[in-house]
């Protein structure tokens, strides 16, 4: 069972379009992170959300943490080819002395 479910698995859209990808769980997380990974490289941390309902913006990227701290979304406005990559969500479960858990990721491809 995947503790963090990401959807969709794959997404291919035209440059300039908007998109949203999701990260869902039945567990409560103390924090969630989003990473972007390019082929052959390690994931790069984009943002950490900590408070339920929190919204963070990073240029054209908007990250939201669900009120119940069980889910998160990433919205990209006016997607560009440079946004292409594997987007991973990850987090630490609440009250668990545990490892960081990763979702399987959404592979995003922006067509020029």
Partner 1 sequence: KAGVTQTPRYLIKTRGQQVTLSCSPISGHRSVSWYQQTPGQGLQFLFEYFSETQRNKGNFPGRFSGRQFSNSRSEMNVSTLELGDSALYLCASLGDPSTEAFFGQGTRLTVV
Judged by the rule CB under 8 A, the positions of this chain that interact with partner 1 are 30-31, 33, 35, 40-45, 48, 88, 90, 92, 98-100, 102-105
Query: Least CB distance from residue 84 to partner 1, whole Å?
Result: 16
Task: Output 44 or 55, the one with its CB closest to partner 1.
Answer: 44
Give Cα separations from 77 to 62, 74, 80 (angstroms).
8, 10, 9
Measured distance CA(55)–CA(108) in Å, rounded: 22
Return the number of the residue (78 or 94) whose C-beta is nearest partner 1: 94
18 and 60 Cβ atoms separated by less than 8 Å = no
Q: Which is nearer to partner 1, 66 or 103 (CB)?
A: 103
- Partnered with residue 24 across adjacent β-strands are 5, 71
């Amino acid at each position: 069972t995947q503790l963090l479910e990401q959807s969709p698995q794959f997404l291919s859209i035209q440059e300039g379009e908007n998109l949203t990808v999701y990260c869902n769980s039945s567990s409560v997380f103390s924090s969630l992170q989003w990473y972007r990974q390019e082929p052959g490289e390690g994931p790069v941390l984009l943002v950490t959300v900590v408070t339920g309902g929190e919204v963070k913006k990073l240029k054209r990227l908007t990250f939201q943490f669900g009120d119940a701290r069980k889910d998160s979304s990433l919205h990209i406005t006016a997607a560009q080819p440079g946004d292409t990559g594997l987007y991973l969500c990850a987090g630490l479960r609440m009250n668990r002395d545990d490892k960081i858990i990763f979702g399987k990721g959404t592979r995003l491809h922006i067509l020029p």
